Structure 1
Amino acid sequence: MTRITARSAASPVTVFVICWLGLLADGYDLYVYGATLPGFIGQAPWNVTPATAGAVGSFALVGMLLGSMIAGTLTDRLGRRRLLIGSLALFSLAMLACAFAPNFSVFGALRFVAGIGIGGLLPTAVALTNEFASARKKSIVLGLVLTGPAIGSLLAAVVAVNLLEDHGVRPVYAIGAASALLIPFALRLLPESPAYLRAVGRHDAAAELSSRYGMTSPDDVGRPPAQGTAPALPRGLVAGLFRDRNLAPTLGMWLLCLLSLLTIFGLTTWLPQMMRQAGFAQGSAISFLLTYSIGAIAGTVVAAVVGQLTAPKVMAIIGFVAAAAALLVASQASSPAVLTTAFLIAGFGGMGTQNMINDHVAQYYPAALRATGLGWALAAGRVGAIIGPSYGAWAVTTGGGVEFAALAFAVPALLGAVIALGLPRRQRIVDPAKLSVRATKEVPR
Structure 2
Amino acid sequence: MDNLDSRTPSRSALLVPVLCWLALTADGYDLFAYGATVPGLLAAPGWGATPASVGAVASLGLVGMLCGSLVAGTLTDLLGRRRLFAASVALFSLAMLGCGLAPSFAVFAAFRFLAGLGIGGLLPTAIALTSEFAAPQHRSRILGAVLTGPPVGGLLASAASVALLAEHGFQLVYGLGVIPLLLVPVALRLLPESPAYLRARGRTAEADEIAAAFGLPAPAAAFGLPAPAAVPAPAGRRSPVRTLFVDGMGPATLGIWVVTICSLLTLFGLSTWLPQIMRTAGYGLSSSVAFLLVYSAGGIVGTLVAAHLAQRLGAKALVLTGFAAATIALAVLAAQPPTGVVLVLVAVAGFGGLGTQNLLNDHVAGFYPAGARATGLGWALGVGRIGAIVGPTYGALFVGGGSAVVASAVAFAVPALLGALVMSRLPRSRPEVPVAVPTASVPTGGAA
Name the TM-score, length of structure 1 as normaliser. 0.88
Q: Percent identity?
A: 54
Aligned to 1:285: 288
Counting only pairs closer than 5 Å after superposition, residues 11-26 of structure 1 correspond to structure 2 as 11-26=12-27
CA drift of 1:28 comes to 0.4
Correspondence 1:126 to 2:127: yes
Q: Deviations over 1:320-369 (max 9, x none)?
A: 10011000010112311111111010001110110011112223334544
Counting only pairs closer than 5 Å after superposition, residues 194-205 of structure 1 correspond to structure 2 as 194-205=195-206
CA distance in 2, matches of 1:256, 1:80: 28
**Equivalent position amino acid for 1:95 in 2:** M
Between stretches 23-32 and 200-209, larger displacement belongs to 200-209
Aligned to 1:407: 410
SS in 1 for 2:215: coil
**Equivalent position amino acid for 2:61 in 1:** A
CA distance in 1, matches of 2:368, 2:44: 47
Aligned to 1:162: 163
Q: Deviations over 1:38-70 (max 9, x none)?
A: 001133143311111111111111111111212
How many residue pairs align between the two structures? 415
CA distance in 1, matches of 2:64, 2:164: 27
Q: Deviations over 1:201-245 (max 9, x none)?
A: 23333333223212221277512599xxxxxxx874334333443
Between stretches 254-263 and 81-90, larger displacement belongs to 81-90
CA distance in 2, matches of 1:126, 1:160: 28
> Is 2:135–2:216's contact at 8 Å kept on the other side of the alignment?
yes
Correspondence 1:361 to 2:345: no
SS in 2 for 1:356: helix
Q: Deviations over 1:122-164 (max 9, x none)?
A: 1111111111112211111000000000000000000000001
> Is 1:75–1:371's contact at 8 Å kept on the other side of the alignment?
no
CA distance in 2, matches of 1:399, 1:424: 43
Q: 1:222 aligns with which of 218, 221, 227?
A: 227
Q: 1:405 to 1:350 in 2, by over 3 A?
A: same
Correspondence 1:304 to 2:331: no
Aligned to 1:109: 110
Q: Deviations over 1:227-267 (max 9, x none)?
A: xxxxxxx8743343334433223222222211111001110
**Equivalent position amino acid for 2:33 in 1:** V
List gaps (5 residues or longer) in structure 1.
Answer: 1-5, 227-233, 428-445
CA distance in 1, matches of 2:371, 2:202: 13
Aligned to 1:89: 90
**Equivalent position amino acid for 2:159 in 1:** V
Between stretches 21-30 and 243-252, larger displacement belongs to 243-252
Aligned to 1:191: 192
Q: 1:163 to 1:399 in 2, by over 3 A?
A: closer
Aligned to 2:55: 54
CA distance in 2, matches of 1:399, 1:251: 39
The runs of at least 4 aligned residues of structure 1 exceeding 6 Å deviation read none
> Is 2:67–2:117's contact at 8 Å kept on the other side of the alignment?
yes
CA distance in 1, matches of 2:325, 2:17: 29
Q: 1:310 to 1:26 in 2, by over 3 A?
A: same
**Equivalent position amino acid for 1:352 in 2:** G
CA drift of 1:15 comes to 0.3
Aligned to 1:254: 257
Correspondence 1:342 to 2:345: yes
> Is 1:72–1:373's contact at 8 Å kept on the other side of the alignment?
no
Aligned to 2:243: 240
Counting only pairs closer than 5 Å after superposition, residues 171-190 of structure 1 correspond to structure 2 as 171-190=172-191
Instruction: State which structure, 1 or 2, has the greater radius of gyration over its C-alpha atoms.
Output: 2
Q: 1:364 to 1:189 in 2, by over 3 A?
A: farther
CA distance in 2, matches of 1:79, 1:235: 24
CA RMSD of aligned residues (A): 2.2
CA drift of 1:398 comes to 7.0
Name the TM-score, length of structure 2 as normaliser. 0.87
Aligned to 2:323: 320
Q: Deviations over 1:272-310 (max 9, x none)?
A: 000000000000000110110110000110111001122
CA distance in 2, matches of 1:329, 1:107: 36
Aligned to 2:35: 34
**Equivalent position amino acid for 1:187 in 2:** L
CA distance in 2, matches of 1:10, 1:426: 35
CA distance in 2, matches of 1:199, 1:162: 48
CA distance in 2, matches of 1:244, 1:418: 24
Between stretches 237-246 and 208-217, larger displacement belongs to 237-246
SS in 1 for 2:399: helix
Q: 1:147 to 1:153 in 2, by over 3 A?
A: same
Between stretches 95-104 and 77-86, larger displacement belongs to 77-86
Counting only pairs closer than 5 Å after superposition, residues 74-85 of structure 1 correspond to structure 2 as 74-75=75-76, 79-85=80-86
List gaps (5 residues or longer) in structure 2.
Answer: 1-6, 232-236, 431-448
**Equivalent position amino acid for 1:303 in 2:** A
SS in 2 for 1:348: helix
> Is 1:67–1:117's contact at 8 Å kept on the other side of the alignment?
yes
> Is 1:399–1:405's contact at 8 Å kept on the other side of the alignment?
no
